[in-house]
């Protein structure tokens, strides 16, 4: 099968489209024909070796952790009735080395991880969901303990995680503030943000103080960088900060009486099924999605690394 593979960490030139053996589903696994692979910032971070110490890995390594497609074969012990089912999945398996990713025509994975895709989404839209939605869910609800009527500030509202986080927080009954460049404010409002805040010009803190004078109940930081120290100042005393793109300033957070935590997303098919249900019933919608071809993976990584993808990029897998 065709796949985008790396033999060593490094620049985009390390990515090669080549033929590798098609996986064979083992007991308890399904084989998924991948129609689209979601592109996440972790893909280029992994490729560049930034995560080498965090994730065990084996070369040759096929990149990509998000997939949409259909089950085409099952391993021993899996009911054949699922063959043909359209599915989407977050394919990283906790503890397993990174090696068999989704920038490929097929992937074998535990049957439980392949969740029926919402029928009203295109395959391209479905591939945009798993990692971003699970990160938003786990950040807002598992770590962030967000409750109805609380205020939440989502730093980075226009990206893959942010566009889903705004909607999930809103659906949970929270009052949602989100940051993005001005050109994306209409998108944030359409997704349900109560206020869209520009992050240029250093006026962010003042804008948040105006909306929530004592600070918000929860800050969800999807950007990192300077926000790792600014974030704790934006939460109220006794409030929470959850960060996904770096470790927040723990000492500052302690001084300010804010509990701060950095999380790493994990596969959770039960949560993905709940997200699928919200999508299928129109309670949330897929982020804006831009398609590129599998052989354009280097372009996709350059776009992702530049930091201004609106919604999600996905790669179309040829068959
Ligand atoms: N810990 C985990 O498990 C985990 C899981 C998923 C993602 N992440 C990390 O979390 C980050 C976000 O992921 P993602 O998939 O949402 O990324 P993404 O889709 O690439 O995010 C791009 C968005 O970031 C916005 N942005 C850039 N600079 C900003 C700033 N200073 N303030 C506000 N918004 C800004 C851009 O909006 P504008 O164009 O309007 O600036 C753009 O829409 C990445 O670093 C990723 O690696 C971590």
Q: What is the pLDDT of residues 222-275, one digit of tens each?
A: 999 999 999 999 999 999 999 999 999 999 999 999 999 999 999 999 999 999
User: What is the token pair recorded at 134?
Assistant: 């699970």
**How many angstroms separate the alpha carbon of residue 71 from the centre of ligand 1?**
31
pTM greater than 0.85: yes
Query: Could you tell me what percentage of the chain is helix, strand and coil, using 3-state DSSP and rounding each to the nearest 5?
Result: 35, 30, 40
φ, ψ of residue 230 to 5 degrees: the values are -75, -35
* pLDDT category of residue 190 using cuts at 50, 70 and 90: very high
Q: Is 49 a residue whose pLDDT tops 80?
A: yes
Ligand 1 atom with minimal separation from the 263 CA? 1
* pLDDT category of residue 171 using cuts at 50, 70 and 90: very high
Inter-residue contact 63 to 54 (CB < 8 Å) = no
Domains present along the chain, CATH in parentheses: 2-129+287-316 (3.90.180.10), 132-262 (3.40.50.720)
Of 98, 68, 36, 4, which Cα lies nearest the Cα of 299?
A: 4
**How many angstroms separate the alpha carbon of residue 6 from the centre of ligand 1?**
24
- Residues with Cβ within 8 Å of 131's Cβ and at least 6 positions away in sequence, in order, are 38, 40, 42, 65, 66, 90, 160, 265
pLDDT in the model for residue 93: 83
pLDDT in the model for residue 243: 98
Q: Is 55 a residue whose pLDDT tops 90?
A: no
Q: What is the pLDDT of residues 76-101, one digit of tens each?
A: 999 999 999 999 999 998 788 889 99
Q: Is the CB of 162 under 6 A from ligand 1?
A: yes
Q: Is 312 a residue whose pLDDT tops 90?
A: yes
Q: Is 131 a residue whose pLDDT tops 80?
A: yes
Q: Is the CB of 264 under 6 A from ligand 1?
A: yes
pLDDT in the model for residue 97: 87
Question: Cα 84 to chain center, whole Å?
Answer: 26
Residue 79's Cβ-side half-sphere holds a number of Cα atoms within 13 Å equal to: 4
**How many angstroms separate the alpha carbon of residue 168 from the centre of ligand 1?**
17
Mean pLDDT of the 293-317 span? 98
pLDDT in the model for residue 94: 79
Ligand 1 atom with minimal separation from the 225 CA? 31
- Residues with Cβ within 8 Å of 233's Cβ and at least 6 positions away in sequence, in order, are 205, 215, 252, 256
What span, in angstroms and rounded, lies between the C-alpha atoms of 131 and 233? Answer: 28
pLDDT in the model for residue 298: 98
Mutate to test the pocket of ligand 1, among 37, 196, 222 (most ligand atoms within 8 A of CB): 222
Mutate to test the pocket of ligand 1, among 37, 40, 51, 156 (most ligand atoms within 8 A of CB): 156
Mutate to test the pocket of ligand 1, among 137, 158, 201 (most ligand atoms within 8 A of CB): 158
Ligand 1 atom with minimal separation from the 161 CA? 16
């Amino acid at each position: 099968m065709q796949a985008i593979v790396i033999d060593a960490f490094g620049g985009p030139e390390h990515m090669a489209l080549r033929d590798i053996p098609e996986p064979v589903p083992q007991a308890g696994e399904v084989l998924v024909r991948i129609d689209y692979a979601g592109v996440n910032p972790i893909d280029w971070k992994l490729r560049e070796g930034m995560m080498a110490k965090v994730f065990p890995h084996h070369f040759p390594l096929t990149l990509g952790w998000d997939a949409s497609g259909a089950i085409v074969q099952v391993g021993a012990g899996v009911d054949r009735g699922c063959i043909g089912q359209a599915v989407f999945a977050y394919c990283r398996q906790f503890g397993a080395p990174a090696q068999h990713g989704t920038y490929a025509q097929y992937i074998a994975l535990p049957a439980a991880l392949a969740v029926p895709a919402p029928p009203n989404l295109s395959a391209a839209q479905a591939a945009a969901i798993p990692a971003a939605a699970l990160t938003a869910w786990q950040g807002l609800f598992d770590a962030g303990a967000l409750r109805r009527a609380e205020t939440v500030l989502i730093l980075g509202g226009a990206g893959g995680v942010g566009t889903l986080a705004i909607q999930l927080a809103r659906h949970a009954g929270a009052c949602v503030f989100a940051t993005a460049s001005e050109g994306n404010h209409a998108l944030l409002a359409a997704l349900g943000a109560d206020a869209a805040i520009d992050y240029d010009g250093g006026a962010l803190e003042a804008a948040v103080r105006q909306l929530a004078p004592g600070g918000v109940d929860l800050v969800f930081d999807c950007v990192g960088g300077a926000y790792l120290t600014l974030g704790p100042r934006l939460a109220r005393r006794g409030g929470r900060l959850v960060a996904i793109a770096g470790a927040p300033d723990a000492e500052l957070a302690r001084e300010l009486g804010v509990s701060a935590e950095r999380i790493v997303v994990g596969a959770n098919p039960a949560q993905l099924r709940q997200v699928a249900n919200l999508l299928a019933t129109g309670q949330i919608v897929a982020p804006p999605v831009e398609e590129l071809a599998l052989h354009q993976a280097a372009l996709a990584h350059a776009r992702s690394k530049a930091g201004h993808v609106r919604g999600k990029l996905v790669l179309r897998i040829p068959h």
